[in-house]
Structure 1
């Protein structure tokens, strides 16, 4: 029985997202995606007439939506500290289980030059904005002013992403744990003083 029509497309997007996490945008080539996904070569331009840029953009959207879903689920919790701590715990587990190889695919696209596909940086910016908005809305629901909520949300995302990069470089979970502890203390005070 042959795979259904959409299966090779889905496998390619999932593979591109996984490869972005480990190797970055520039190293996520069509050949590497095909090898990782097992999809037939002829399916590339059938499913992605825009070529590599379209495939990467869809992988960014998929990865961004996945993490957005996790953030949005976590932010429904009654305790915003628990929600933010859970996000740090998720990254802790991902870093350790990948032996510090897996980073954020959105960062991978955002930090690399994509002169041939400027839409990729816009896609990354949209994902970061969605994450910031979800966290910010949670803080507003818990009594913080909207502007402070937005700043805190952006700061938390920046702290997590920066800590993940440092963890990968140092091959240690220490930067993430330090950032998580500081963010936790900051939120305790911010939510207490509202």
Structure 2
């Protein structure tokens, strides 16, 4: 991306956040460029200056923005998974985040709309999952270092399983509007980790 002035960066961010807000409220299909222009008090020439590829480039930027929000909405709890109260607080943060989001997942909506037509659309989701899994795995390693989780667990595979459970719960929520399955998946994941911790204590 070309270097922008501070004013230019602020204008681009205003367009991006305005488009993201509209998509969160109305969905991708119902959000037009004219809606974005009206919402952000932006001219068409400004929009195409910052997003020369038009609608698809803007949607890809929204996908990156929403992917970033997924992790930011879990902070600061995700940053310090170093005790069981911290893991429990993170669990509550994740559930609250998706409960507030509701049945419409803006990231899924945008990437599904872009499909294979826009290079990088699926890469946004792939990178999000990589980063998310890595942060959970870091938490598992911290607990292993503290002797709270057994060394026999592979941190990366454990994090992958937890993340898969979250994503499955979110997918069901998108269909039912309920976080029941998401909560059950997280509760079972933490119970599994805590049981590993008890096994460590039993061997001492």
Q: Which bracket does the TM-score occupy, shorter chain normalised?
A: 0.7 to 0.9
Report if the CA contact (8 A) 2:77-2:93 is conserved: no
Report the CA distance between 1:37 and its aligned residue. Answer: 3.6
| 1:120-135 alignment, distance < 5 Å | 120-135=121-136
Report if the CA contact (8 A) 2:82-2:139 is conserved: no
Determine the structure 1 residue equivalent to 2:143.
Answer: 142
- The answer for unaligned runs of 5 or more in structure 2 is 1-6, 145-149
| Equivalent position to 2:168, from 154, 162, 176 | 162
Secondary structure, aligned partner of 2:189: helix
Report if the CA contact (8 A) 2:173-2:179 is conserved: yes
Is 1:62 aligned to 2:71, yes or no? Answer: no
Report if the CA contact (8 A) 2:27-2:109 is conserved: yes
Cα RMSD, aligned residues only: 3.2
TM-score, length-scaled by structure 1: 0.75
Is 1:92 aligned to 2:92, yes or no? Answer: no
Determine the structure 2 residue equivalent to 1:118.
Answer: 119
Larger Rg: 2
Q: d(CA) in 1 for partners of 2:111 and 2:30?
A: 14
Secondary structure, aligned partner of 2:44: coil
Report if the CA contact (8 A) 2:91-2:186 is conserved: yes
Determine the structure 2 residue equivalent to 1:188.
Answer: 194
Q: Deviations over 1:17-67 (max 9, x none)?
A: 345556665665434443444433322211112323332232232333333
TM-score, length-scaled by structure 2: 0.72
Q: d(CA) in 2 for partners of 1:137 and 1:45?
A: 41
Structure with larger RCO (C-alpha < 8 A, sep 6+): 1
